[in-house]
Chains A and B, each alone.
Chain A
């Protein structure tokens, strides 16, 4: 069964460093998303991407964040200068029509 894949599964970084989280969505899906979940808290929406551009973003998705779909298969989230409060599980998701499928997540730890 096709699935959304994310790398790395866990990344530890120093505050102020840049981080790139990678995702390969399900191949025939049209909509791509990043969500995050701080430990023990709700899943929060960051950004959605459709037709090679951002279609919606939340207040969390400020200038330190960016997304790209560089080659038609990968979908990346870049955090330019990480802060301690960026420590969270980051989920990529993709969908077509009603259903939405998540990857297994990338756990980011900022020290």
Chain B
């Protein structure tokens, strides 16, 4: 079974609008972390946001917020006020286990976001 599922291979959004990128995950471990990364066409992986499974509040970083719904095992990324520079591939990833600092991330297949003027 896929540990991370991103069901939207591609998304379009108008500049200045908000967009939600979906991510669902599968784990039986009560302790895990969820990540979102942005990969522009230049190829680098840019860390956006992190949510721990025990965090009480949804993570936010500037225009990025993570809509964490634990019971549904979903960790959707919300980008508010989209900008042309947000056009990129977006990856959701998970790390499982307590003391998880050293554990590997499992990545989803990504969603390509295109922001239109």
Contacts and interface: CB of A to CB of B under 8 A. Distances in A.
A-side interface mostly: strand
Contacts of B47: 99-102
A30 B104 contact: no
Contact of B35 (A100, A103, A105): A100
Interface size class of A (residues with CB under 8 A): 20 to 34
Nearest to A49: B102
B97 to A, nearest CB: 10
A43 B107 contact: yes
Contacts of B50: 98-100
Given A43-B91, A98-B50, A98-B52, A105 B43 contact: yes
B105 A31 contact: no
Interface string A30-46: 11010100000011110
Given A99-B50, A101-B47, A105-B43, A42 B108 contact: yes
Contacts of B103: 48, 56
A55 B43 contact: no
Given A43-B91, A50-B102, A96-B101, A102 B108 contact: no
Contacts of A58: 104
A19 interface: no
A97 interface: yes
Interface of B: 33, 35, 37, 42-47, 50, 52, 91, 93, 95, 100-110
Interface of A: 30-31, 33, 35, 42-45, 48, 50, 55-56, 58, 89, 91, 93, 95-105, 107
